[in-house]
Amino acid sequence: MPRVSVVIPTMNEEASIGLVIDEVRSALEGVMPYEVLVVDTDSRDRTREIAAGKGASVVQEPRRGYGRAYKSGFERATGDIIATLDADMTYPALEIPKLAAKLDSDGLDFITTDRFAGMAKGAMSAKHRLGNKVLSVSARVLFRVKVRDSQSGMWVFRKSILDRLTLESDGMAMSEEIKIEAFEKVRAAEVPISYRVRVGEVKLQSWKDGIGNLRFLFKKRF
């Protein structure tokens, strides 16, 4: 049975990281071999302490950046399959076994997820929804990537494909970049999931991050 590495980037997530790790354990304990890698980018609270106390392997990444944190986690992952989650309880860790099984049943290498299919009320602001739609349409037009949710941060994929993907972004744009690369170079699909209201402080800067992601799309394309 394949081993799954669950990679979770964190920065000041003491309110939620323990809950996320508990849900990962509920999903995977006795179902498939797994490890939890928490990649922490200089938290000033008890995030690292809580994660370690829950049995996670904590990777300290001094360089800031969403993409940078994931790259560090991918490098240290020992599993055949990598699953990613945010540290705020928004993504359903209980879906990981089903998504991992779908890689084999559907002959896939990479699965990304569509949050809009089952989004809880209040889980995403109107501004964030608009920005996501603009970025998703842009990705479809520029790269012919057939995804509804280009900014989703829950992916399940075979670790072996990483050598085939060119991931240049160390920031938020890495989320759209990994999908562009995967849909172009390996067998990829988008699967609907539920999406919950965040636990803890919202850190996403919709306009700043959105404009940066849009610039990245044009830079990568041209």
Q: pLDDT tens digits, residue range 18-70?
A: 999 999 999 999 999 999 999 999 899 999 999 999 999 999 999 889 999 99
The reported pTM is 0.95
Quote the tokens at residue 159: 């670790």
State the residue for tokens 């890689």.
103
Average pLDDT of the chain is 94
Token pair of 179, please?
């999908």
Identify which of 191, 193, 197 has the alpha carbon closest to the alpha carbon of residue 179. 191
Is it the case that residue 205 has pLDDT exceeding 80?
A: no
Question: CB burial class (10 A; 0-12, 13-18, 19+) of residue 212?
Answer: middle
* Topology at the third CATH level for domain 4-221: Spore Coat Polysaccharide Biosynthesis Protein SpsA; Chain A (3.90.550)
Domain ranges of the chain: 4-221
